[in-house]
Amino acid sequence: MAKKILIVDDEPHIVKALALRLKANNYDTVAAYDAMQAMKKAVEEKPDLIILDYKMPAGDGLTVFENLQRMCDLGIVPVIFITAFPDKIVKNKVMEMGAADFIMKPFDTEDLLNKVKKALGDE
């Protein structure tokens, strides 16, 4: 059975690009476009991994991540943050909080796939 990845980003073209690439590599994908949808989809879909945009309207990725960590069944789901903000402080903060990894936009497809495989233990 294919592993399910929840992609959370407020930019539909980013979600589409990620979904196409992940589906081509035999992953199932689910999309959310803001923090509220992200929480709802995470609870409903029970993904194996979440790719989470750091900055979004209607709540940021950091808040979503903190809320997920508080939920016993979702707190163990690995989260890879994705962002266009090249801030080492942000990267260090999310990694210290327990994120599986951090990807900068625009992203390198092979780097993305390697980080997804690593986070899912598929290496």
Q: Is the pTM of this model over 0.85?
A: yes
Contact in structure between 45 and 4 (CB atoms under 8 Å): yes
Higher per-residue pLDDT: 60 or 40: 40
Q: What average pLDDT is seen over the chain?
A: 91
The full set of domain ranges for the chain reads 4-107
Structure tokens given for 106: 């625009």
Under CATH, what is the fold of the domain 4-107?
Rossmann fold (3.40.50)
Residue 57: Cβ within 10 Å count: 10
Mean pLDDT over residues 35-58, rounded? 92
Extract the tokens encoding 80: 């890879």
